[in-house]
Structure 1
Amino acid sequence: TSVDGVWGPGLLGSLPGVVSGPLTLSSLGTNWMREILSLIHSDGDPGWVRSVLNWDRAPWVESRPGLEAALKYPPPRLLCSHLPVQLFPKSLQRSKAKIIYTLRCPKDVLVSLYHFSKLVRYFRDPGSLDSFLEDFLSGNVMYGSWFDHVTGWMGLKGNENFFSITYEELQQDLQGSVRRICHFLGKELSEEQVAAVVENASFQSMKGNKMSNFSQLSDEYMDHQKGELLRKGICGDWRNHLSEAQSQRFDTIFRERMQGLGMTFPWD
């Protein structure tokens, strides 16, 4: 189904006017941010992330079961979404919710989404990388255009309850990033607790944690024989997949679509 340019498996539920607690929205990088926020929420204690599935810790608000589960949690609660800004109520911007928006190099998003689409059974076959590139650039992918998604959410930049960070910043300085996130949330952690968040939110820790690596996701939804959802956790992997012509094609569209945003990115 397609709603306002968003492709999905028909799981959109009704959203409340106000969502309380930290909220993470992203193109990709959501799983890492969810792990970081789960650990911040538990003061660095890894017990929660090792005993509760990540999608139960921070449910997806675009799925009816996820939304219903989230509304039962006491605030401050963790919520996740990939939805574009226009599908959220305007009241979100005036609410007590803390919105954390995670961006990632769109070429890495493309490659990651391409592999992800091969694993998830309810996604349509992505076809060749070349054809998927054209789908991605035209916004003919789940949740719609990356360019529209980013420009939409970054329109909230400057709002008191909005914080954005890139996947690349998390990679370069996870400890500093955790401190910045804590400051935004008004959450005070000791140096030892910050160190515990950093240690347990590392890619290797997540990859080895069955509650976070999606190995427990039913075969009904994901074909585990085709690979793992957490693949490499690195920046710049697109260079191993895109040809020079494909990269140049991407750059041309990127410049056309993002020139009015007035932002610089770590991958520029």
Structure 2
Amino acid sequence: MDGPSEPHIPGLWDTYEEDISEISQKLPGEYFRYEGIPFPVGLYSPESIGLAENTQDVRDDDIFIVTYPKSGTTWMIEIICLILKDGDPSWIRSVPIWERAPWCETIVGAFSLPDQYSPRLMSSHLPIQIFTKAFFSSKAKVIYMGRNPRDVMVSLYHYSKIAGQLKDPGTPNQFLRDFLKGEGEDRVPRPFLGRGAIPPLTPLLCLQDLQGSVQRICEFLGHPLSKEALGSVVAHSTFSAMKANTMSNYTLLPPSLLDHRRGAFLRKGICGDWKNHFTVAQSEAFDRVYRRQMQGMPTFPWDEDPEEDASLDPEPRPSPGPSPSPSPGPSQPSEPSHPRP
């Protein structure tokens, strides 16, 4: 499988960037519902989601990255971009990440962009019941990235503080209640399980064995790498490498869409940070809803080991010193996490 032959399509992406700038000026922080699922007004529309759901434009060599918001989407895009280029970092350093893996369901969406090279790499937050139907009769592939939903909630709280398309999250306790009720997102994250999907990956598993995870993805895509290329993929997809890459850290987006004055796009790059924010009562309330929502789903690493290691990090850092007193919920971010999308 060959990666995209050119990193940039003149004219096409210039228009794409103009559209993003225009859209970002019209974000009201309101929501509409599509099949009962809330989406931010301005970045999505019923028409754009309907196009993604019902398009017949699915190629057999398409690669979809499907995630619940705040579940490692950006990291997986970076990894696959490097795999498709055999470890060569020039593509990820020269083309913004939203151009390398455009979103399926946004107003400026992957299926509305002409003349894309093959294989197409596309991203989506759509749950399986409204995911692109034509995928299921194709040979296209899905890579699903799942994350401990407790960490998802904390990241969503931080992200909502800086994302122009989302309403203000309010207090941490209110955000937790809204999250568990399904306000603003589709309740507790549920995995995408369908034909053509690699068994779900998680940030925790990738952090524990990034090289092994990359090899697993390569095997699934039918794109083997040399030892040198594999090492390059691993080196250029660490948290610190992505955070330093302006094409991947979302600093190119306008402040009206993502306000970097209030924090950075890449926040911590760890698993288990929820334990720094949840009270015992909040954790128990979350677990009750989680167990109910996840009935019939497979077991994930955070189910087997709820005390997962919070120190896992691609780039371990010295301890910052004594921890502050526990807060009643997600704390105010010093570096909010990356946007959706």
Alignment TM-score, normalising by the size of structure 2: 0.73
* Moved >3 Å (runs of 4+): 68-71, 160-163
1:143-162 paired onto structure 2 within 5 Å: 144-147=186-189, 149-150=190-191, 153-154=192-193, 156=194, 159-162=195-198
Three-state SS of the structure 2 residue aligned to 1:146 is coil
Equivalent in the alignment of 1:218: 254
**Deviation at 1:40?**
0.7
CA contact (8 A) 1:102 1:165 kept: yes
1:154-193 paired onto structure 2 within 5 Å: 154=193, 156=194, 159-193=195-229
Aligned partners of 2:98, 2:188: CA distance in 1, in Å?
23
**What's the RMSD between the two structures over aligned residues?**
1.5
Three-state SS of the structure 2 residue aligned to 1:2 is strand
**Deviation at 1:6?**
2.0
Amino acid aligned to 1:116: Y
CA contact (8 A) 1:59 1:69 kept: no
Aligned partners of 1:161, 1:220: CA distance in 2, in Å?
35
User: Within the alignment, does 1:7 sit opposite 2:49 as a pair?
Assistant: no
Structure 1 residues 70 and 175: CA distance shift in structure 2, 3 A = farther
Structure 1 residues 160 and 79: CA distance shift in structure 2, 3 A = closer
Three-state SS of the structure 2 residue aligned to 1:131 is helix
Name which structure has the greater RCO, CA cutoff 8 Å, separation 6+. Answer: 1
Equivalent in the alignment of 1:259: 295
Amino acid aligned to 1:72: D
CA deviations on 1:121-165 (whole Å, 9 max, x unpaired) are 1210101111111111122124x2234x42xx22x2xx3444421
Equivalent in the alignment of 2:56: 17
Equivalent in the alignment of 1:64: 107
Computing the radius of gyration from Cα coordinates, the structure with the larger value is 2
CA contact (8 A) 1:25 1:80 kept: yes
Q: How many residues align?
A: 260
Aligned partners of 1:86, 1:134: CA distance in 2, in Å?
25
Alignment TM-score, normalising by the size of structure 1: 0.92
Three-state SS of the structure 2 residue aligned to 1:92 is helix
Equivalent in the alignment of 2:327: none
1:37-76 paired onto structure 2 within 5 Å: 37-68=80-111, 70-76=113-119
Where in structure 2 are there 5+ consecutive unaligned residues? 1-31, 304-341
**Deviation at 1:247?**
0.9
Aligned partners of 2:223, 2:114: CA distance in 1, in Å?
22
CA contact (8 A) 2:144 2:197 kept: no
Amino acid aligned to 1:66: G
